[in-house]
């Protein structure tokens, strides 16, 4: 089956952008899922949770991500060049397990500025049928854009029930939880994460409509925000942003700017994107909020300024040197979201990787991987990031070097040293960066490392030789 025949449709993309999830079905025979579930149960019982080693331990799982339906959906959301994240996990929900609290997954730390653009995604895979009694995963549709739960009647949970072989594709930041298992059966779910390497330049899905079509009937109307995401996925940039309806005048800009600090997050987030549709007229209001010292206003202003596009670059650059941590962090974030449009301030972003604030350093090293050029300004800063005292800075620096690919060739010695890092994800990102650099020396180092760390899927406590 051709992957091109299994790319997402416009309707599916609209659902993912607005609701944050899709349910997918493949044509694997039921015996495939039954066999995989039996093997997983045996591994869990005899050996414990394989955690990150689930792919080599259960080789059949690799077939799942080669399936055109799965690969087509991931390619539609993340582009063809996406990366399978080194973290993966088996969730076994035993009978009697209590309900989890609503949460969003960590980026190996919860203090990262969350990307509204789809840079990350995850898949929940259920190898057996799941009903409400078994405690399926619950999600809160549309909440991927919020740092906190709204906690009101706009939250309408959806439960990942379905037949064996159900796949749930989720925006990484969607609020979710495992429900209570009231049955007498163990519920199994395998979770995998995926990361986008490049900003979109053209639509990666089966796109037929150029313009966003309003989504109605949702508890919260974020059509301005969703329209921006649609344009971004089609390869547009913030400078092209226009409202779903014709932008209004300037009289309401002060009122919208006040909403950036709203304690009701849907209103504050929406205000950022509605201001962005006014273009350059909104920049002074957004810039003032960014440097206000108000954490909420600064965050929403950062999203708004990134949506305005290149015209906001000068104000973002000034904020990158502001006295408040929030301003510097969200300015670095917004410049990263501008991508190559921020290439002429790459040196300033590189300097931000030495900021006294770890939050700013984490954000800056990620931004460098999104800006991508010029490499001679970015790579030395990312090499230094590989030795930062903070594990998340090192992890993200290695991820950014992955995104630079062959342009990061000068980082090969530093990446080789990072293969000895105490953090498993720094090591994993370092070896993947070497593979994406692709030069003979880099490939030799990566293959030598992978050969030494080869996992034998048939070696178990009961079968050692």
Of 162, 195, 228, the one marking the end of a domain is: 195
Q: Are residues 410 and 361 in the same domain?
A: no
Q: Are residues 164 and 250 in the same domain?
A: no
Q: Are residues 379 and 360 in the same domain?
A: no
Q: What are φ and ψ of residue 86, in 5° steps?
A: -70, -15
d(CA 6, CA 75): 10
Q: Are residues 247 and 360 in the same domain?
A: yes
- Whether residue 103 is contained in a domain is answered as yes
- Whether residue 221 is contained in a domain is answered as no
Of 373, 397, 423, the one marking the end of a domain is: 373
- Whether residue 159 is contained in a domain is answered as yes
What pLDDT was estimated at residue 248? 56
How many Cα atoms occupy the beta-carbon half-sphere of 148 within 13 Å? 13
Residues spanned by the domain of 332: 237-373
Cis peptide bond upstream of 374, omega within 30: yes
- Whether residue 202 is contained in a domain is answered as no
What pLDDT was estimated at residue 1? 47
Q: Are residues 54 and 80 in the same domain?
A: yes
- pLDDT digits over 234-272, tens only? 998 644 444 433 455 677 999 999 999 999 999 999 999
- Residues 41-68 as b/e (b if ≥16 CB within 10 A, e otherwise) read eebeeeeeebebebbebbeebeebeebb
Q: Are residues 358 and 272 in the same domain?
A: yes
pTM assigned to the model: 0.94
- Whether residue 208 is contained in a domain is answered as no
Tokens of 113: 């500025």
What pLDDT was estimated at residue 339? 93
Q: Measuring CA to CA, which residue among 105, 107, 88 is closest to residue 50?
A: 88
Q: Are residues 461 and 390 in the same domain?
A: yes
Q: Are residues 283 and 187 in the same domain?
A: no
Question: Would the CA dihedral through 179, 267, 171, 87 be positive or negative?
Answer: negative
- Overall number of domains in the chain: 3
Q: What are φ and ψ of residue 435, in 5° steps?
A: -65, -40
Q: Are residues 168 and 36 in the same domain?
A: yes
Total number of residues shown for the chain: 465
Q: Are residues 191 and 241 in the same domain?
A: no
Q: Are residues 368 and 378 in the same domain?
A: no
- Whether residue 232 is contained in a domain is answered as no
- Whether residue 443 is contained in a domain is answered as yes
Q: Are residues 420 and 465 in the same domain?
A: yes
Q: What is the CATH number of the domain that holds 87?
A: 2.60.120.620
- Whether residue 409 is contained in a domain is answered as yes
Of 330, 357, 373, the one marking the end of a domain is: 373
Within the chain, which residues score under 70 in pLDDT?
A: 1-4, 237-249
Q: What is the CATH number of the domain that holds 299?
A: 1.25.10.10
């Amino acid at each position: 089956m051709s992957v091109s025949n299994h790319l997402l449709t416009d309707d599916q993309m609209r659902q993912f952008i607005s609701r944050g999830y899709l349910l997918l079905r493949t044509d694997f025979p039921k015996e495939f899922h039954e066999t995989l579930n039996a093997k997983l149960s045996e591994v869990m019982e005899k050996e414990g949770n394989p955690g990150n080693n689930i792919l080599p331990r259960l080789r059949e799982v690799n077939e799942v991500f080669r399936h055109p339906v799965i690969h087509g959906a991931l390619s539609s959301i993340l582009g063809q060049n996406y990366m399978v994240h080194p973290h993966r996990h088996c969730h076994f929900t035993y009978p009697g397990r209590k309900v989890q609290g609503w949460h969003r997954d960590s980026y190996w730390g919860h203090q990262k500025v969350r990307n509204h653009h789809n840079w990350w995604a995850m898949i929940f895979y259920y190898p057996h049928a799941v009903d409400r009694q078994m405690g399926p995963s619950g999600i809160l549709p549309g909440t991927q854009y919020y740092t906190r739960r709204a906690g009101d009647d706009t939250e309408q949970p959806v439960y990942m029930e379905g037949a064996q072989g159900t796949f749930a594709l989720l925006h990484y930041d969607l609020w979710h939880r495992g429900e209570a298992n009231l049955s007498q059966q163990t519920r199994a779910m395998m979770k995998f994460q995926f990361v986008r390497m490049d900003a979109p330049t053209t639509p990666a899905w089966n796109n037929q409509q150029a313009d966003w079509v309003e989504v109605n009937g949702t508890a919260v109307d974020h059509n301005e925000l969703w329209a921006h995401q649609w344009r971004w996925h089609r390869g547009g940039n913030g400078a092209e942003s226009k409202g779903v309806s014709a932008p209004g005048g300037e009289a309401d800009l002060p009122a919208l700017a006040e909403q950036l600090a709203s304690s009701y997050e849907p209103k504050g987030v929406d205000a950022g994107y509605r201001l962005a549709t006014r273009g350059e007229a909104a920049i002074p209001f957004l810039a003032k909020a960014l440097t206000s010292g108000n954490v909420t206003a600064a965050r929403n202003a950062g999203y708004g300024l990134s949506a305005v596009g290149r015209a906001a670059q000068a104000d973002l650059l000034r904020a990158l040197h502001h006295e408040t941590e929030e301003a510097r962090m969200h300015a670095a974030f917004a410049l990263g979201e501008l991508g190559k449009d921020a290439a002429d301030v790459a040196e300033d972003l590189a300097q931000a990787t030495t900021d006294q604030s770890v939050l700013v350093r984490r954000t800056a090293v990620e931004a460098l991987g999104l800006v991508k050029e010029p490499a001679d300004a970015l790579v030395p800063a990312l090499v230094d990031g590989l030795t930062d005292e903070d594990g998340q800075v090192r992890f993200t620096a290695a991820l950014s070097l992955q995104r630079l690919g062959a342009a990061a060739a000068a980082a090969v010695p530093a990446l080789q040293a990072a293969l000895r890092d105490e953090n498993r994800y720094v090591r994993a990102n370092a070896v993947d960066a070497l593979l994406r650099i692709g030069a003979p020396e880099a490939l030799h180092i990566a293959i030598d490392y992978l050969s030494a760390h080869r996992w034998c899927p048939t070696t178990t406590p009961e079968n050692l030789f």
